[in-house]
Chain A
Amino acid sequence: GQNIDQPTEMTATEGAIVQINCTYQTSGFNGLFWYQQHAGEAPTFLSYNVLDGLEEKGRFSSFLSRSKGYSYLLLKELQMKDSASYLCAVKGNSGYALNFGKGTSLLVTP
């Protein structure tokens, strides 16, 4: 089966750093994805990890540990526009379907 867990809500201050964690138990593993979704909009791709380690892309970084079934998304220099839902998704054995967590709603305050 598929089980992907992430915190429901987080709050952080503008300019700060926030880490959103994701743990997963899935049937097979073919990559972990992070998406950003603003209210009423489509998810937009942020990052993809298939090997252990840290992937950095501007203000956003994503880390993966396959042995621990764990990933995190790190957002630096938070801006108000970063207030959104952040979705963790795993591609399992099927090779085509993304299995999403319920998302973490991030609120950035002044």
Chain B
Amino acid sequence: ETGVTQSPTHLIKTRGQQVTLRCSSQSGHNTVSWYQQALGQGPQFIFQYYREEENGRGNFPPRFSGLQFPNYSSELNVNALELDDSALYLCASSLYGATYEQYFGPGTRLTVT
């Protein structure tokens, strides 16, 4: 069984730039959720994708956007990067409706300078 994978592992960007993070869901899972985890904090829900559409969104501005592909993999795009966007970005995959079986990827550490 293939676990959740994310790329890249680490990334350094400059304020104002744009970034794309990628996530491959666990085999058999059709839903992907993205979370932002600042240092010393718990993960904060960004949004969830199911059937290639945004299924729910947390309290994040529109410059955070995403995509889901037919193979259930997903991208998180962040435009106009700000220093506060520096965080660990986690994706989690699950079967739709079965959030209790949500598996997290290793995360992408984004640093904005």
**B106 and A98 contacting across the interface, CB-CB below 8 Å:** no
Interface residues of B in 40-71 (CB under 8 A from A): 40-45, 48, 55-56, 58
- How many A-B contacts at CB < 8 Å in the complex? 57
Against B, the Cβ 8 Å flags (1 = close, 0 = not) of A63-101 are: 000000000000000000000000101010011111111
Given contacts A42-B90, A43-B90, A91-B99, contact A98 B45 (CB under 8 A): yes
Residue in A4, A96, A100 whose CB lies within 8 Å of B99: A96
- Binding site of B, secondary structure by majority: helix, strand, loop or mixed? mixed
Given A43-B90, A96-B33, A100-B44, the answer on whether A48 and B106 have CB atoms closer than 8 Å is no
- Measured as residues with beta carbon below 8 angstroms from the partner, the interface class of chain A is 20 to 34
Chain B interfacial positions (CB closer than 8 Å to A):
4, 31, 33, 35, 40-45, 48, 55-56, 58, 90, 97, 99-107
A to B CB contacts below 8 Å, 29 in the list: A33-B100, A35-B104, A41-B107, A42-B106, A43-B43, A43-B104, A44-B104, A45-B101, A87-B42, A89-B42, A95-B99, A96-B33, A96-B48, A96-B55, A96-B56, A96-B99, A98-B35, A98-B43, A98-B45, A98-B102, A100-B35, A100-B42, A100-B43, A100-B44, A101-B42, A102-B40, A103-B40, A103-B41, A103-B42
